[in-house]
C-alpha cells in the first residue's frame, strides 16, 4: 500500500513540478531561518554552562546612589571580596580581576624563530590566585590552585600559546608584557564564545601594586570581584545573603569615606545608598539591562527574545504558506478524490495518500534547509560573532527539535485538506469541479494571508525604525566633532612627558594635521571617574556636598582637536602650567552641582590629598558613550595637575579631509622611530563610536534579512491564493470575457479582494509595530521620533509587493481563451 502511495505522490509531483518546487522552497527557507536563529538563541541562553561551578559563581555588584547620581555596576573596590569571604560562611571563595586594557606582548627569539611583538587589546587582565579554581576553567597544563600565586606568573589560553610558541610547549617559557618579564605557569583550554569572562592572558595580581595600594578603599571601583557560593545561587539563597550585607557595608565602608573627608552615615540619612548585590553568572549575560561593567560580553536579553519570537514567526509563516499551497493545489484534485471514492476507496486511504505527499514535501524541505544552513554558516558566523561549525547544526541538543518541525508541518499541511475533501460524497466532487468544496477553505486561506502580511509589515516597520535609530546614534554628536580624528594608541610607551610632548608636536606639524592632543582617555574609549566636593556658597539652589564626575586628563589642544564648544569661560591656556589647578566642566556637571555661576568656583578632590581645582570653563554636553545612556557629569583636568594616574594614554589628531592615507603612513614612520619595539596601532574616533552600536548594527542587518524572508514567504502564500482563486473562477472569467469584459477589468476584479487583505494586514500591523518599536526605543535616552511616513512607507511597499505578486496570475487568467474555460459547459 505504501508503495502505491509513493508512486501516486511522485506522479503528482511531476505533474505539478512548479508548485511543488515553490512549496518545498518556501518551507525550506523558513526552516533554515528558524534553525539558524534557534542556534543563536541557544548559544545566548547557555552562557557559562560549560563551567563546573556556573550555578554557584556570582559577580559582585554595587547599587549606588550619591545625591542625584545613581549607578548599578560590577566595578567594585579591592577589599570587598575578602570581606565577603571572612564575614559570610555561605561564600566559599572570592577572586578579583583587574583589566589591563591594551598590552604589548613580546617573545624573544627562540630556537631559530624571530622575536614576536603584538599589541593585544582587551584580552589581558590581572587575577588573584583563586581565580582559576573559583571558576573551574579547564586547564591543559599547570595547576589552577598555584598558577597565579607568584609575581611574574602568567597563564595563557591555548590560542595565545600557539600564537607565541607554535607547536612547542609553552609551559615555563618567557614573555614580556609591557616590558615586564613573565613566565608561563599555566595553559587554559580555549574558551568558548559563550563564556562571560574572556581573556588571552592572566597575569598574577601580585604584579600590580596599585590594587594593593587601594586595599583600604571602598571608593576606588577599579576591579571586578567574583565569589563562589557553597550551594547553588538560587533567588532565596541570594536574597538571604544580600539582606546581611548592609551590616558589612556600615562596618567597613564609613572609615574609607572618612579618610577622604566624607561622612557616609550622614549620606545614608539623606537617602544615599551603597548596596552590595550578587549577580548569578548564568544570568549575567542577558538579564541586567543598564549594568555598568567592564565585561564586553554582556548581551541584550530583549534582543535575544525578539529574535526568538521572529524566528518562530518566520517558521509559522513558512508553515502557513505550506498549508496554503497544499490546500490550493488539493482543490484541483476534487474529481480525482470523487473517482477514488466512487471506486470504493476508504476515507482512511484518501487521508493517508494526502499525508504521504505532504510528509514527502516537508522532508524534502528539511534536506534543502540543511543544505542552506550549511552554505550560509560562514556568513552567519560573521554576522553574529559566533564560531559555529557544520557539526553544530546537527548536535543532539538541537537535531531532535529540527527533525520534529518538518514532520509536524507535513502532518498539518496534509491533514486539513485530506479530512476536508474526503468528507464529501463522490457525486458532490463532480459538480463544477468541487464548487461546494472551495467555499469552506477560502476564508481560512484569506485569514492566513492576512496573518502573513501582518507579520511582514511589522518586521518591515521594525527594520525601518532600527535602521533610523542606528543612523541617528552614529551621527549624534552635538558638542563634539568626531569626523576625521585619528587616534594613536599605546602612547604610554612614550615613557616620559617630554617624549609625549615631542611626539605630539611632530604630529601637529604634519601638513595633513589641523590639531593634535594627548589625553588619558577619549570619548567612546572610557574615562576616569571619582567623587569630587564642590565649593559651597550662597547659591539660590542647594549645592551638593559630593558628586561623581568622569574626566579626561589632557592638554590645551584637546578642545580644538575634538571640536568641543566652550559655552562660558575659557579653554586651558597653551603651553602653560598655570592651569594645573584648573578644570573645565560640562553642562550636566554644573546642573548636578547646583551652581548658578560656576566660573571661578572650586572643586576639591579627596582622592588626591584634597587637591583643589578652579572652574575656568563650561563646555557643551556631548555623548562620550552610547545614546542608550544619559550624559554624565564630565570634567577636563590639565595633565600638569597630575591629579591621578591611569593605564590609558592616547594621541588624537584632527586631519584635513582626504589626507587620511598619507597621514597614517607618516605617523607610522614617526612612531617606529620613537618606539621601534612597540607596534604602531591607530583607529579613527568615528569608528570607535560606531563600535558602541555593534549590537544595534547586527540587529538591523538581521532584521533586514528576516524581513526579506518574511516577504518572500508571504508572497508565495499570496501567489498560491491568487492561483487558486483564478482557477476556481475560470468559468466566471470566461463568461465575462464573452460578454465583453476587458483585460484590465478582469485584472482589477481578481486583484481587489487580495488588496483588501493587505489593507486589513496594514491596519492590524500598524498599532502592533508602533507598540513594539516604542518599547524598544524606550531603552535609549536619545532617540528618534516614530514618524508617520515610516508606517505609510511600509504599507505602500506591502501593497506594491502584493500587486506585483498578484499581477502574474491575474493577467494570465485574463488573457486565457474563454473557449477553453467554457468547453465543458
What are the grid coordinates assigned to 504, written together? 605630539
Q: Is 234's pLDDT higher than 70? A: yes
pLDDT band at 163 (very low <50, low <70, confident <90, very high): very high
What mean pLDDT do residues 511-536 have?
88
| Nearest partner of 59 among 72, 69, 46, 49, judged by Cα | 72
pLDDT tens digits, 52-75: 999 999 999 999 987 777 889 999
Q: Is 579's pLDDT higher than 80? A: yes
Spatial distance between the Cα atoms of 200 and 170, rounded to a whole number of angstroms: 14
Q: Which residues contact 417 (CB under 8 A, 6 or more apart)?
A: 326, 327, 330, 354, 441
pLDDT value, residue 436? 45
pLDDT band at 401 (very low <50, low <70, confident <90, very high): confident
| Dihedrals phi, psi of 74, to nearest 5 degrees | -90, 0
Spatial distance between the Cα atoms of 607 and 732, rounded to a whole number of angstroms: 88
Q: Would you call 585 helix, strand, or coil by DSSP?
A: strand
Bridge partners, 116 (sequence order): 107
pLDDT value, residue 300? 84
Q: Which residue has the cell 615631542?
A: 502
pLDDT value, residue 434? 45
Spatial distance between the Cα atoms of 584 and 516, rounded to a whole number of angstroms: 19
Spatial distance between the Cα atoms of 198 and 715, rounded to a whole number of angstroms: 44
From the number of C-beta atoms within 10 Å of its C-beta (0-12, 13-18, 19+), residue 231 rates as exposed
pLDDT value, residue 437? 45
Spatial distance between the Cα atoms of 90 and 251, rounded to a whole number of angstroms: 19
What mean pLDDT do residues 799-809 have?
83
What are the grid coordinates assigned to 516, written together? 593634535
Average the pLDDT over each of 151-160, 461-470, 551-560, 745-754 and give the range with the smallest value. Answer: 745-754
Q: Would you call 437 helix, strand, or coil by DSSP?
A: helix
pLDDT band at 515 (very low <50, low <70, confident <90, very high): very high
Q: Is 344's pLDDT higher than 60? A: no
| Candidate ranges 78-82, 177-181, 570-574; pick with highest mean pLDDT | 78-82
| Dihedrals phi, psi of 694, to nearest 5 degrees | -60, -40
Spatial distance between the Cα atoms of 497 and 503, rounded to a whole number of angstroms: 10
What mean pLDDT do residues 381-405 have?
79
pLDDT > 70 in the chain, percent = 87
What mean pLDDT do residues 632-658 have?
88
End-to-end C-alpha distance for the chain, whole angstroms: 37
pLDDT tens digits, 548-558: 898 999 999 99
Q: What angle do CA 303, 305, 306 make, to 5 degrees?
A: 60
Conformational region of residue 730, where left means phi above 0, alpha means psi within -120 to 50, and beta covers everything else: alpha
Give the DSSP letter string of 742-800: -HHHHHHHHHHHHHHHHHHHHHHHHHHHHHHHHHHHTT-SS-----HHHHHHHHHHHHH
pLDDT value, residue 432? 46
Q: Is 348's pLDDT higher than 70? A: no
pLDDT value, residue 433? 45
Average the pLDDT over each of 166-180, 245-259, 514-528, 709-723 and give the range with the smallest value. Answer: 709-723
pLDDT value, residue 678? 86
Residue 643 in contact with residue 605, Cβ under 8 Å?
yes
Q: Is 302's pLDDT higher than 80? A: yes
3-state secondary structure labels for all residues of 311-347: HHHHHHHHHHHHHHHHHHHHHHHHHHHHHHHHCCCCH
pLDDT value, residue 224? 96
Average the pLDDT over each of 184-193, 782-791, 811-820 and give the range with the smallest value. Answer: 811-820
Q: Is 493's pLDDT higher than 90? A: no
| Candidate ranges 217-231, 374-388, 429-443; pick with highest mean pLDDT | 217-231
pLDDT value, residue 332? 60
Q: Is 519's pLDDT higher than 90? A: yes
pLDDT value, residue 115? 80
Buried b (16+ CB within 10 A) or exposed e, 674-700: bbeebebbbbbbbebbbebbebbbebb
Q: Is 425's pLDDT higher than 70? A: no
pLDDT value, residue 382? 86
pLDDT > 90 in the chain, percent = 39
Q: How big is the chain, counted in residues?
A: 825
CA-based radius of gyration for the chain: 34
pLDDT value, residue 303? 85
Spatial distance between the Cα atoms of 442 and 729, rounded to a whole number of angstroms: 12
Average the pLDDT over each of 408-417, 434-443, 605-614 and give the range with the smallest value. Answer: 434-443
What mean pLDDT do residues 128-153 have?
95
Q: Would you call 602 helix, strand, or coil by DSSP?
A: strand
Spatial distance between the Cα atoms of 825 and 822, rounded to a whole number of angstroms: 5
pLDDT value, residue 142? 94
DSSP H or E run through 640: none
Q: Is 254's pLDDT higher than 80? A: yes
pLDDT tens digits, 309-332: 888 888 888 887 777 777 666 656
Q: Is 539's pLDDT higher than 60? A: no
Q: Is 472's pLDDT higher than 70? A: yes
pLDDT value, residue 342? 58
| Nearest partner of 433 among 448, 421, 446, judged by Cα | 421
Mean pLDDT of the chain: 85
pLDDT band at 407 (very low <50, low <70, confident <90, very high): confident
Tell me which of 430 and 139 has the higher pLDDT.
139
pLDDT value, residue 417? 64
pLDDT value, residue 1? 57
pLDDT value, residue 430? 54
pLDDT tens digits, 42-51: 889 999 999 9
Tell me which of 60 and 627 has the higher pLDDT.
60
Cα distances (angstroms) measured from residue 171 to each of 138, 651, 670: 15, 37, 37
Sign of torsion over alpha carbons 361, 366, 370, 376: positive
pLDDT value, residue 818? 64
Q: Is 725's pLDDT higher than 80? A: no
Amino acid at each position: 500500500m505504501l508503495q502505491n502511495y509513493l508512486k501516486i505522490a511522485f506522479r503528482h509531483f511531476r505533474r505539478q513540478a512548479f508548485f511543488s518546487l515553490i512549496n518545498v522552497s518556501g518551507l525550506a527557507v523558513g526552516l533554515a531561518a528558524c534553525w539558524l536563529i534557534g542556534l543563536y538563541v541557544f548559544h545566548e541562553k547557555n552562557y557559562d554552562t560549560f563551567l563546573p561551578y556556573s550555578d554557584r559563581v556570582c559577580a559582585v555588584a554595587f547599587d549606588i546612589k550619591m545625591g542625584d547620581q545613581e549607578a548599578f555596576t560590577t566595578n567594585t573596590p579591592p577589599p570587598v571580596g575578602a570581606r565577603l569571604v571572612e564575614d559570610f560562611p555561605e561564600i566559599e571563595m572570592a577572586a578579583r580581576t583587574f583589566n589591563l586594557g591594551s598590552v604589548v606582548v613580546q617573545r624573544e627569539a627562540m630556537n631559530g624563530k624571530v622575536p614576536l611583538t603584538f599589541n593585544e587589546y582587551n584580552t589581558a587582565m590581572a587575577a588573584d590566585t583563586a581565580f582559576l579554581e573559583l571558576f573551574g576553567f579547564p586547564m591543559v597544563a599547570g595547576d589552577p590552585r598555584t598558577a597565579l600565586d607568584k609575581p611574574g606568573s602568567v597563564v595563557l589560553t591555548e590560542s595565545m600559546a600557539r600564537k607565541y610558541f607554535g607547536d612547542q610547549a609553552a609551559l615555563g617559557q618567557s614573555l614580556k608584557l609591557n616590558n615586564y618579564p613573565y613566565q608561563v605557569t599555566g595553559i587554559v583550554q580555549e574558551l568558548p564564545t559563550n563564556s562571560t569572562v574572556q581573556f588571552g592572558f592572566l597575569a598574577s595580581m601580585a604584579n600590580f601594586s596599585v590594587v594593593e595600594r587601594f586595599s583600604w578603599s571602598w571608593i576606588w571601583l577599579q576591579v571586578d570581584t567574583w565569589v563562589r557560593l557553597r550551594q547553588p545561587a538560587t533567588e532565596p539563597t541570594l536574597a538571604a545573603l544580600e539582606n546581611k550585607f548592609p551590616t558589612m557595608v556600615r562596618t567597613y565602608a564609613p572609615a574609607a569615606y572618612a579618610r577622604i573627608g566624607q561622612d557616609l552615615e550622614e549620606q545614608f540619612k539623606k537617602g544615599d545608598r551603597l548596596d552590595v548585590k550578587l549577580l548569578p553568572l548564568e544570568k549575567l549575560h542577558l538579564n541586567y539591562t543598564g549594568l555598568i561593567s567592564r565585561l564586553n560580553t554582556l548581551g541584550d536579553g530583549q534582543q535575544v527574545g525578539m529574535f526568538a519570537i521572529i524566528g518562530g514567526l518566520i517558521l509559522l509563516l513558512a508553515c502557513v504558506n505550506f498549508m496554503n499551497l497544499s490546500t490550493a493545489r488539493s482543490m484541483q484534485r476534487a474529481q480525482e478524490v470523487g473517482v477514488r471514492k466512487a471506486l470504493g476507496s476508504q476515507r482512511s486511504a484518501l487521508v493517508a495518500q494526502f499525508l504521504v505527499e505532504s510528509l514527502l514535501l516537508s522532508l524534502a524541505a528539511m534536506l534543502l534547509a540543511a543544505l542552506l544552513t550549511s552554505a550560509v554558516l560562514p556568513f552567519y558566523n560573521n554576522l553574529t560573532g559566533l564560531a559555529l561549525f557544520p557539526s553544530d547544526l546537527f548536535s543532539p541538543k538541537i537535531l531532535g527539535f529540527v527533525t520534529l518541525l518538518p514532520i509536524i508541518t507535513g502532518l498539518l499541511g496534509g491533514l486539513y485538506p485530506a479530512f476536508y475533501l474526503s468528507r464529501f460524497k463522490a457525486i458532490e466532487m463532480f459538480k463544477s469541479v468541487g464548487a461546494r468544496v472551495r467555499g469552506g477553505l477560502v476564508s481560512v486561506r484569506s485569514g492566513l494571508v492576512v496573518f502573513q502580511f501582518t507579520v511582514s509589515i511589522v518586521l518591515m516597520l521594525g527594520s525601518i525604525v532600527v535602521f533610523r535609530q542606528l543612523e541617528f546614534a552614529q551621527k549624534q554628536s552635538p558638542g563634539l566633532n568626531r569626523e576625521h580624528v585619528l587616534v594613536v594608541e599605546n602612547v604610554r610607551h612614550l615613557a616620559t612627558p617630554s617624549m609625549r610632548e615631542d611626539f605630539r608636536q611632530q604630529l601637529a606639524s604634519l601638513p595633513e594635521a589641523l590639531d593634535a592632543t594627548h589625553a588619558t582617555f577619549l570619548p567612546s574609549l572610557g574615562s576616569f571617574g571619582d567623587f569630587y566636593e564642590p565649593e559651597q556658597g550662597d547659591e539660590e539652589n542647594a549645592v551638593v556636598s559630593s558628586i561623581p564626575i568622569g574626566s579626561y586628563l589632557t592638554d590645551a589642544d584637546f578642545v580644538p582637536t575634538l571640536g568641543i564648544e566652550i559655552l562660558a569661560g575659557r579653554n586651558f591656556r597653551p603651553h602653560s602650567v598655570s592651569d594645573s589647578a584648573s578644570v573645565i566642566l560640562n553642562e550636566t556637571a554644573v546642573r548636578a552641582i547646583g551652581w548658578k555661576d560656576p566660573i571661578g568656583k572650586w572643586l576639591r578632590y579627596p582622592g588626591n590629598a584634597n587637591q583643589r581645582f578652579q572652574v575656568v570653563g563650561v563646555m557643551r554636553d556631548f555623548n562620550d558613550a552610547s545614546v542608550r545612556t544619559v550624559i554624565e557629569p564630565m570634567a577636563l583636568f590639565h595633565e600638569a595637575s597630575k591629579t591621578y594616574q591611569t593605564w590609558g594614554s592616547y594621541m588624537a589628531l584632527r586631519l584635513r579631509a582626504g589626507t587620511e592615507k598619507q597621514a597614517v603612513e607618516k605617523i607610522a614612520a614617526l612612531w617606529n622611530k620613537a618606539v621601534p619595539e612597540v607596534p604602531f596601532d591607530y583607529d579613527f574616533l568615528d569608528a570607535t563610536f560606531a563600535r558602541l552600536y555593534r549590537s544595534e548594527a547586527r540587529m538591523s542587518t538581521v532584521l533586514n534579512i528576516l524581513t526579506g524572508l518574511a516577504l518572500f514567504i508571504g508572497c508565495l502564500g499570496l501567489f498560491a491564493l491568487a492561483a487558486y482563486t483564478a482557477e476556481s473562477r475560470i468559468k466566471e472569467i470566461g463568461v465575462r470575457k464573452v460578454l465583453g469584459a476587458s483585460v484590465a477589468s478582469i485584472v482589477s476584479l481578481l486583484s481587489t479582494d487580495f488588496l483588501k487583505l493587505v489593507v486589513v494586514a496594514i491596519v492590524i500591523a500598524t498599532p502592533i509595530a508602533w507598540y513594539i518599536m516604542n518599547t524598544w526605543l524606550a531603552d535609549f535616552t536619545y532617540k528618534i521620533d516614530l514618524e508617520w511616513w515610516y508606517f505609510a512607507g511600509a504599507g505602500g511597499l506591502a501593497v506594491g509587493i502584493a500587486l506585483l505578486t498578484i499581477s502574474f496570475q491575474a493577467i494570465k487568467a485574463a488573457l486565457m481563451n474563454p473557449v477553453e474555460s467554457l468547453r465543458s459547459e
